[in-house]
């Protein structure tokens, strides 16, 4: 009995020792796991803090670039130096910073925790990794070219200053495009609407086909001599032709505005650049939508071609309608509410409605560029009349500021990208062919269409105007944004690199040579855009009313309908609806007519009353005013800079 008791007690002691050892091991394991987790959290927090500091430093680089650009612009304006515009200057500063980042600074990265290889059959967009029971999510950032690991530190540093291309489309492009439509001088735009539409639609399509066809010939020659090392199909050539056909003569137009160049030349060039950006982006989308039947997607298929044309028409019409509808909605809200009593809220609503047009169009599968252009034009024509005086000034200054900052940011980034982008493909033969194709494509746009337009115009587009338009076909932000959006293939990378060089050349050479070109072509300067065209004035200063405001009958009908019904319905200006609608609609007219409309009924001034006037016998197709190069008198000198002689 005693021996059994002693053995039982010894068994309990042994069990207690074993249990104690197990609990000690478990506690030690939990402590180690907690310590490891804590260390991992500390490392993660330190990494996040370092990334935050690095991102702040990267943004500071661009802020300093813009600051330096602004100060240099002031110096150039103070010294009246026009041979280099601010956009070209921003590109130069971007180039200098890119050189420093690429060759002067070498970052460090610990490669001990980097897995350089992981065999998989596909590249998933999201990857979940199980590390000791903890799941970590990794997102695909893109393909990395083959490397032995020596270039990884510098590549990682340069990637820090490389932005997501969607930032350009969703943040930087909308204010630039909206400002173009919102600041459009409608009076001169509609006078030249026939020619502007011809250059923007037919001209851009012709330029795309000419550039694509010529470039395909160069690519075939390069393949024959073994100078191309990847696939480059005809659709790739057409895509390049579409994006490079988007003109952005911001440098030329800025000089035109300072010198007060002939208003019709300004309207032709500015109107074409506004609309052909929209045409170019839809053309590029239609080319990407080209999907012929069968395994080979690079053969000609008539049904696929027609489908692409249908995509072009559908996307353009849908984007146009969406932009106009958003502008009309904003106009109605500002008319039938008392937001004008709170200018800050009024400006905020105007800003958000305008910006949301771009995002709404992109979300619906349309093109935000087209939508926001026509939204800007609708806002300027209708909503602007409902705003308070303070909001009018605020919206003008706000979008002008955003346009200036976004545009110079993009051009600075262009210069930086020449050295920070990792996958450039510079092929001298392809670049030479691209320059020749772009030159011939622009010529095929301007000269033949001008000849055809002059056949139906009473007032011809002079050859001097044609030469200036040919010379002023600069490439800029839109071509760059379209090219950088997709650099996944060999053809797209070569397209992007060549586009970048073309933008540099046109901004620096063509933009810098604008003033000498105006002087050489004897283009009139010092023209007051708020007055009638001086070409219609007689020697004694009297107006020649026979050709004062020509307008084609469709636009005269539209202006009459707009003045009587649309403007009174959407704004406080114009004749009250009680005087224009039939008597049976009297109650509806009284509901839709505001007190401000009755108060402004006796105001004889209407900024659109002389938009299109039925005076003189105009062409039945075009709405253009006389264009010539008549010598101006010495009294009509421009207000800024040296005189450019005119013929």
Note the pLDDT of residue 32.
57
Residues present in the chain in total: 647
pLDDT score, position 641: 39
* Dist CA 550 CA 192 (whole Å): 10
Q: Quickly state the pLDDT bin for 326 (edges 50, 70, 90).
A: very high
- Predicted local confidence at residue 645, as pLDDT: 37
Arithmetic mean of pLDDT, 323-339: 91
CA dist 415 and 408 (Å) reads: 11
**Torsion sign (Cα): 432, 437, 438, 439:** positive
Backbone angles phi, psi at 304, to 5 degrees: -65, -35
**Sole residue written with tokens 């590029």:** 284
- The answer to whether the CB of 626 falls within 8 A of the CB of 192 is no
Quickly state the pLDDT bin for 25 (edges 50, 70, 90): low
Q: State how far the alpha carbon of 289 is from the alpha carbons of 65, 215, 285, 307, 493, in Å.
A: 38, 21, 6, 8, 20
- The pLDDT tens digits for 538-550 are 333 333 333 344 4
3-state SS, residue 126: strand
What is the value of pTM for the model shown?
0.76
Q: Give residue for tokens 């016998």.
A: 617
Which range scores top for mean pLDDT: 37-46, 77-86, 420-429?
420-429
Please report, in angstroms and rounded to a whole number, the separation of the first and last CA atoms in the chain: 133
Phi/psi-derived region of residue 5, left when phi > 0, alpha when psi is between -120 and 50, beta in every other case? alpha
What residues contact residue 282 under an 8 Å CB cut-off, 6+ apart?
A: 312, 315, 316, 319, 367, 370
Report whether pLDDT(133) > 90: no
The better pLDDT of the pair 587, 221 is held by: 221
**Tens-place pLDDT, residues 431-458:** 999 999 999 999 999 999 999 988 887 7
The fraction of the chain above a pLDDT of 70, given in percent, is 70
Is the pLDDT score of 348 beyond 90? yes
The CATH architecture to which 165-292+304-521 belongs is Up-down Bundle (1.20)
* pLDDT tens digits, 535-590: 333 333 333 333 344 455 666 777 788 888 888 888 887 777 777 777 777 777 77
| Phi, psi of 126, rounded to the nearest 5 degrees | -130, 135
pLDDT recorded at residue 642: 40
| Contacts of 381 by beta carbon, 8 Å cutoff, 6+ apart | 186, 608
| pLDDT at 270 (0 to 100) | 85
Q: Please state the domain extents for the chain.
A: 165-292+304-521
Q: Is 378 helix (H, G, I), strand (E, B) or coil?
A: helix
**What percent of the chain clears pLDDT 90, i.e. is strictly above it?**
21
DSSP 381: I
Question: Measured between alpha carbons, how far is 485 from 496 in angstroms, rounded to an integer?
Answer: 9
């Amino acid at each position: 009995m005693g021996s059994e008791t002693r053995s039982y007690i010894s068994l309990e002691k042994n069990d207690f020792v074993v249990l104690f050892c197990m609990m000690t091991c478990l506690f030690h394991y939990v402590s180690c796991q907690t310590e490891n987790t804590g260390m991992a959290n500390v490392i993660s927090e330190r990494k996040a803090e370092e990334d935050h500091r690095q991102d702040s430093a990267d943004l500071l680089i661009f802020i300093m670039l813009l600051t330096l650009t602004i100060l240099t612009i002031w110096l150039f304006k103070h010294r009246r130096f026009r041979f280099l515009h601010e956009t070209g200057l921003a590109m130069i500063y971007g180039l200098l910073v890119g050189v420093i980042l690429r060759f002067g600074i070498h970052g460090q990265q610990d490669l001990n925790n980097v897995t350089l290889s992981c065999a998989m059959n596909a590249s998933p967009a999201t990857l979940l990794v199980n590390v000791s029971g903890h799941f970590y999510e990794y997102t695909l950032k893109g393909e990395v070219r083959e490397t032995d690991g020596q270039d990884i530190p510098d590549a990682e540093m340069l990637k820090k200053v490389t932005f997501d291309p969607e930032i350009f489309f969703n943040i930087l492009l909308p204010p630039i495009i909206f400002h173009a439509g919102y600041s459009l001088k409608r009076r001169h735009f509609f006078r030249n609407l026939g020619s502007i539409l011809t250059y923007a639609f037919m001209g851009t399509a012709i330029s795309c086909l000419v550039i694509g066809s010529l470039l395909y010939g160069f690519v075939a020659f390069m393949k024959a001599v073994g100078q191309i090392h990847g696939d480059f199909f005809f659709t790739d050539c057409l895509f390049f032709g579409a994006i490079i056909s988007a003109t952005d003569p911001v440098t030329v137009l800025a000089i035109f505005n300072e010198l007060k160049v002939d208003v019709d030349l300004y309207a032709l060039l500015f109107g074409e650049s506004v609309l052909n950006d929209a045409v170019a982006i839809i053309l590029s989308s239609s080319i990407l939508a080209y999907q012929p039947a069968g395994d080979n997607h690079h053969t000609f298929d008539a049904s696929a071609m027609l489908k692409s044309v249908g995509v072009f028409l559908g996307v353009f019409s849908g984007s146009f309608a969406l932009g106009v509808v958003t502008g009309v909605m904003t106009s109605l809200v500002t008319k039938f509410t008392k937001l004008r009593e709170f200018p800050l809220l009024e400006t905020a609503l105007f800003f958000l409605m305008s910006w949301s047009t771009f995002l709404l169009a992109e979300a619906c599968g349309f093109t935000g560029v087209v939508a926001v252009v026509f939204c800007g034009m609708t806002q300027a024509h209708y909503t602007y009349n409902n705003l308070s005086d303070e909001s009018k000034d605020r919206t003008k200054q706000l979008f002008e500021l955003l346009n200036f900052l976004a545009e110079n940011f993009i051009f600075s980034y262009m210069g930086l990208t020449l050295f920070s982008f990792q996958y450039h493909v510079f092929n001298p033969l392809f670049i030479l062919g691209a320059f020749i194709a772009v030159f011939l494509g622009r010529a095929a746009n301007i000269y033949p269409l001008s000849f055809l337009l002059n056949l139906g115009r009473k007032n011809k587009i002079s050859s001097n105007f044609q030469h200036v338009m040919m010379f002023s076909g600069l490439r800029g932000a839109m071509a760059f944004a379209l090219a950088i959006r997709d650099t996944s293939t060999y053809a797209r990378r070569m397209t992007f690199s060549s586009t970048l060089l073309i933008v540099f050349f046109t901004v620096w050479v063509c933009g810098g040579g604008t003033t000498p070109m105006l002087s050489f072509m004897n283009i009139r300067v010092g023209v007051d855009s708020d007055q009638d065209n001086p070409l219609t004035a007689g020697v004694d200063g009297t107006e020649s009313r026979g050709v004062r405001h020509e307008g084609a009958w469709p636009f005269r009908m539209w202006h009459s309908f707009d003045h009587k019904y649309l403007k009174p319905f959407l704004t406080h200006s114009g004749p009250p609806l009680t005087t224009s609608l039939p008597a049976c609609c009297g109650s509806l007219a009284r509901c839709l007519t505001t007190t401000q409309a009755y108060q402004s009924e006796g105001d004889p001034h209407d900024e659109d009353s002389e938009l299109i006037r039925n005076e003189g016998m105009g062409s039945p197709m075009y709405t253009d005013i006389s264009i010539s190069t008549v010598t101006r008198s010495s009294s009509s000198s421009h207000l800024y800079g040296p005189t450019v002689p005119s013929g």
